[in-house]
Amino acid sequence: MSEVNFYLKDPKKEGDTPIYLKFLYNGKILKYYIGQSIDKNKWNANKQRVKNNKLTTADGKRYLNDLLDNLAKECMIAYNEALKDGIPAPETLREKLVAFVNQNDNQDKKNKITFFGLIERFAKNEIKHKGMDKSVNTIKSYVTTQAHLKDFAKKESEYSRGLDFEDINLDFYYKYVSFLKSKNLGQNTISKNIQIIKVFMSEAVDLGYTENMKFKHKKFAVSRVDTDAVYLTDDELTTLYKHDFSKDKKLEAVRDLFIFGCFVGLRFSDYSTIKPENIVTIEGDCFIKQITQKTGELVIIPCNPVVMEIFEKYKNNPNRLPRAISNQKFNEYIKDACKEAGLKEIGRLATAPKLELWETISSHTARRSFATNLYLDGFPTIDIMKVTGHRTEKAFMKYIRVSKLDTAMRMSKHIKNNWNLKLLKLTA
């Protein structure tokens, strides 16, 4: 009776030696190396199987003994089917076994999640954070990083086959950072890019797609640098708000929406998309109640008299605010509005001291002005952070723009407010 057997190529050799299948039938011999090797001490010659049933193939995708069982079964199936047309040649059976192995390998490749495959899941918002969708801006950052990585893989010949999880190591890091710098990306943009790659890899480890932890190396990071930005003081906001733009309704609308942002502290993506249902009345007072796009957090912000004036001015609009425009256009027009209002102080931006104040203004200046002015007024930092979304006071202090003069003036105000009380205590 024909029987399939398995042997080691060199059973006396120290270290791993190849395993082969041997099939004797009708005076013919099929000898087929299965593509796996094993140490002789792990092999049971009598049973022609691995001693440890949990030992896997070299790629770790299946148990080695299961592979041997399946190959033996497939060999007999191929033999019995071929007998219908006469005794098959060994080469015919070999082709059947090769096709069987390749079929399984191709299926493994088809089912395998690749590095870019995982990134695509991020880009499609399939990967959630505590069950919640990622924000639109976060998804955009994933897509941008994905594009940079694909460009990098095309440029670097060693990654022409495509980046995979095992490629993400320090060598990749050094080359990738150099590539990003060659595209004239800023330090903080590169830092964010590397941070996102670490997010991808952390998820890959959690999902069991890889055991590669080299992205955790302390060198696998790019330090952020403090960005230079300005805020508008209460006096400057008053100057801007009181300026007559009646001859330019476009700039007037942009100015009004900017001032609104300065007093509610939201990001442009939030304060430019306020809906009627976000304006609520609680115990007779008006509030903005909104879930922020970036963090998904609920914020409730009181409306001061200026905000109420803007609501009244645009009461015929559904959301009682000027019609929103793109962020790019907004940034262009708010500079024009600030220039016309006379905000031309020079030297406010340390990194570009020759610029006039109006040239440094953008949609985000509104949020920064909100946080900085409240801080200088002595409002509790922890309460401001509930609106800005900063989780640590250290991060908040980097965000606001407080100069040494601001600090001195704030201290002077504190002294004036409290000195009489201290004198009474000292002379009592």
Structure tokens at 231: 């805020």
Residue holding tokens 């953008």? 362
What's the Cα-to-Cα distance from 392 to each of 264, 380, 396, rounded to whole Å?
Answer: 20, 14, 6
- Please state the length of the chain: 428
User: 414: Cβ–Cβ under 8 A, 6 or more apart, which residues?
Assistant: 378
Sorting pLDDT into bands at 50, 70 and 90, what band is 106?
low
At 195 the three-state DSSP class reads helix
**What tens digit of pLDDT does each residue of 282-316 get?**
999 999 999 988 777 889 999 999 999 999 999 99
Do 230 and 349 contact (CB within 8 A), yes or no?
A: yes
Average pLDDT for residues 120-137, to the nearest whole number? Answer: 86
Region label for 2, one of left (φ > 0), alpha (ψ between -120 and 50) or beta (otherwise): beta
User: 389: Cβ–Cβ under 8 A, 6 or more apart, which residues?
Assistant: 292, 294, 295, 297
- 26: pLDDT strictly greater than 80: yes
Buried b (16+ CB within 10 A) or exposed e, 61-86: eeebbebbeebbebbbebbeeeeeee
CA distance 22 to 33: 9
Cα–Cα–Cα angle for 71, 74, 80, rounded to 5 degrees:
140
Q: Which of 110-114, 209-213, 251-255 is the most confident on average? A: 251-255
Q: Measure CA 302 to chain center.
A: 32
The two most distant CA atoms of the chain are separated, in Å, by: 120
- 422: pLDDT strictly greater than 80: no
Structure tokens at 276: 């009627």
- 406: pLDDT strictly greater than 80: no
pLDDT at 45: 95
CA distance 46 to 360: 82
DSSP secondary structure, 374-393, as one string = HHHTT--HHHHHHHH--SSH
- 151: pLDDT strictly greater than 50: yes
pLDDT at 404: 56
Q: Which of 32-41, 137-146, 305-314, 394-403 has the lowest mean pLDDT?
A: 394-403
Q: Which of 68-77, 159-168, 229-238, 251-260 has the lowest mean pLDDT?
A: 159-168
- 383: pLDDT strictly greater than 50: yes
Sorting pLDDT into bands at 50, 70 and 90, what band is 104?
low
Provide the sign of the torsion angle of the four alpha carbons 132, 135, 140, 142, taken in this order: negative
Residue holding tokens 């914020």? 299
- For 234-412, the fitting CATH number among 1.10.443.10, 3.30.465.10, 3.40.1350.10, 3.40.50.1100 is 1.10.443.10
pLDDT at 110: 47
Do 88 and 79 contact (CB within 8 A), yes or no?
A: yes
* Pairing between β-strand 28-39 and β-strand 298-302 as defined by DSSP bridges: unpaired
Sorting pLDDT into bands at 50, 70 and 90, what band is 410?
low
Element (H, E) at 138: helix 136-155
